[in-house]
Amino acid sequence: MPPKTLVCCAASFSYGPASKLLVIAEAVGSLELRTVFLGTGIAHELAARTFAFDEIVCAAPDDPLARSLVDAACALVSLMDREYLCLAQERSKPTYVADSLFWMRDRTPAAFLRARRYWVQDFVGVPERVTETPSAPTVVGPIVRPMSPVSDTDRRNLVVSLGGCESPLSAISGDSSYFDFVVGGILRSDLVSAFKDQVVLMAGSRCIEYLAKRYPGSGIAFVSASPQEAASLLETAAMVLTAPGLTTSLECFQLAVPTFFLPPQNYSQWWILKKLRVKGVAGCSFHWEDLLPGYPVGERMSEEVRVPLVRSAIQSLVREERAARAFGESLAGCLSCDRKAVASKQRDFFDSLGPNGVSRIVGDLAELC
């Protein structure tokens, strides 16, 4: 008898959800399930670089191929995607949802609450939010690939992570200035010389193509890495400088790699960085808000309100000298601080979020077999 098929999908606009989905799909290999990735955009780009799935299909939710795959599946698991999720629910398929941004939503999508299992990754604010949710979700620890710190002698590079960034225009619509702000700031700092030209910058393929053409001979290696390559780079990094997305941040904290933060690209990163600062694990960071006291970006704002607010904040500062100066000061602080102490505190924060969440998720999915 052929194995049952589990359709897997992730929000298409960033690497984080897709990265979590890959880890779950790899672990599902222990079950008698055939996994099919279904998606588009940057999520599909990442999935296509792995062997985590038995099949990888690029099809939009309104594509007849997507509908036929869902119809043939025993269930669908979603990493914060809503469209394929709703398609499966319309066809009365069992659905499962994992959500790492539960804590910041203005409201929980109804489709998430209709899922047979709704797992939320623990983070600052999750316990309080769970008590407000009519149908309490299952709180799990970090949904990341289990990795252990390596010895200091095996650590070499400075790794800069911009996340997926499907194109230089994805974080700020129609404007690549954020990327120029970041790379220009790094090149004006002492980071490249301090790491003896062993600086690697990771991002999505189209962003890397732009940066490589814009900054030839810079001393920075621009790469669009597979998940396995990215994990290897993080494991052997002496220091990481990352956009404040939650997945990469937690991966680095787990590895006890000294991790510092670029200014946020979007609303979720805006609040992730704020909360990590409150916890004392994001020292030497520059946040746009530092130069915009009282700027009205609040918690749990609706998407139609928060997107233009954050975009306006970034566009108002990204070409200003005072922002470049503040960013430069934060980069200098990364070199002068006690990086071992930073890494130790970040690892403690990671441990406080509980055991790895993947085993619980896979245990629940075993009911499909």
Residue 156 lies in a domain: yes
pLDDT tops 80 at residue 174: no
pLDDT tops 70 at residue 161: yes
In this structure, which amino acid lies at residue 159?
Answer: V
Residue written as tokens 């390596």?
150
Q: Quick one: pLDDT at residue 154? A: 80
Please answer whether residues 137 and 120 qualify as being in contact, where contact means their C-beta atoms are separated by less than 8 angstroms.
yes
Which one, of 111, 174, 92, 144, lies nearest residue 350 by Cα? 144
Please answer whether residues 96 and 82 qualify as being in contact, where contact means their C-beta atoms are separated by less than 8 angstroms.
no
Mean pLDDT, residues 138-150 taken together = 94
Instruction: Kindly indicate the confidence band of residue 168, based on its pLDDT and cuts at 50, 70 and 90.
Output: very low
pLDDT tops 90 at residue 245: yes
Round to whole Å and give the CA distance between 123 and 310.
22
Q: Same domain for 335 and 358?
A: no
* % of the chain residues with pLDDT over 70: 97
Round to whole Å and give the CA distance between 85 and 81.
6
| Domain count across the chain | 2
- Per the rule left: phi > 0, alpha: psi between -120 and 50, beta: everything else, 25 is alpha
Q: Same domain for 46 and 73?
A: yes
Round to whole Å and give the CA distance between 185 and 325.
9
Mean pLDDT, residues 216-234 taken together = 93
pLDDT tops 70 at residue 166: no
pLDDT tops 80 at residue 279: yes
Mean pLDDT, residues 13-18 taken together = 86
Q: Same domain for 322 and 219?
A: yes
* % of the chain residues with pLDDT over 90: 81
* Maximum CA extent, the chain: 66
Round to whole Å and give the CA distance between 167 and 24.
26
Spatial neighbors of 6 by CB under 8 A, at least 6 apart, are 28, 33, 34, 35, 36, 73, 74, 75, 76, 77, 365, 368
Q: Which two tokens stand for residue 361?
A: 């998720």
Residue 198 lies in a domain: yes
Mean pLDDT, residues 256-267 taken together = 96
Round to whole Å and give the CA distance between 118 and 116.
7
Instruction: Report the range of poorest mean pLDDT among 86-100, 193-207, 233-247.
Output: 193-207
Residue 133 lies in a domain: yes
CATH code, domain carrying 102 = 3.40.50.2000
- In this structure, how many other beta carbons lie within 10 angstroms of the beta carbon of residue 198? 16
Mean pLDDT, residues 110-133 taken together = 94
Residue written as tokens 């960033």?
14
Q: Quick one: pLDDT at residue 165? A: 60
State how far Cα 235 lies from the chain centre.
17
pLDDT tens digit string along 301-343? 998 899 899 999 999 999 999 999 999 999 999 999 999 999 9
Q: Same domain for 131 and 188?
A: no
Q: Same domain for 331 and 244?
A: yes
Mean pLDDT, residues 2-9 taken together = 94
Q: Same domain for 124 and 37?
A: yes
CA dihedral 355, 201, 39, 140 (to 10 degrees): 10
Round to whole Å and give the CA distance between 240 and 257.
7
pLDDT tops 50 at residue 254: yes
Residue 32 lies in a domain: yes
Length of the chain, in residues: 369
Q: Same domain for 170 and 132?
A: no
Q: Quick one: pLDDT at residue 323? A: 97
Q: Quick one: pLDDT at residue 169? A: 39
Residue 206 lies in a domain: yes
Q: Same domain for 201 and 109?
A: no
Q: Same domain for 332 and 253?
A: yes
Query: Please, what sign has the CA dihedral across residues 350, 155, 241, 243?
Result: negative
Q: For the chain, give the mean pLDDT.
A: 92
Q: Same domain for 190 and 332?
A: yes
Residue 147 lies in a domain: no
For residue 14, give the 3-state DSSP assignment. coil
* This prediction's pTM: 0.94
Q: Quick one: pLDDT at residue 346? A: 98
Round to whole Å and give the CA distance between 45 and 41.
6
Q: Quick one: pLDDT at residue 204? A: 85
Residue 244 lies in a domain: yes
Residue 164 lies in a domain: yes
pLDDT tops 80 at residue 170: no
Round to whole Å and give the CA distance between 190 and 158.
12
Q: Same domain for 210 and 288?
A: yes
pLDDT tops 90 at residue 246: yes
- Give the residue numbers spanning the domain of 280: 152-352
Please answer whether residues 365 and 31 qualify as being in contact, where contact means their C-beta atoms are separated by less than 8 angstroms.
yes
Q: Quick one: pLDDT at residue 207? A: 87
Instruction: Kindly indicate the confidence band of residue 164, based on its pLDDT and cuts at 50, 70 and 90.
Output: low
- Helices 246-255/339-352 angle, 10° precision: 110
Taking only Cα atoms into account, the Rg of the chain, rounded to an integer number of angstroms, comes to 20
Which one, of 234, 338, 224, lies nearest residue 284 by Cα? 338
Instruction: Kindly indicate the confidence band of residue 59, based on its pLDDT and cuts at 50, 70 and 90.
Output: very high
Q: Same domain for 358 and 348?
A: no
Q: Quick one: pLDDT at residue 114? A: 95
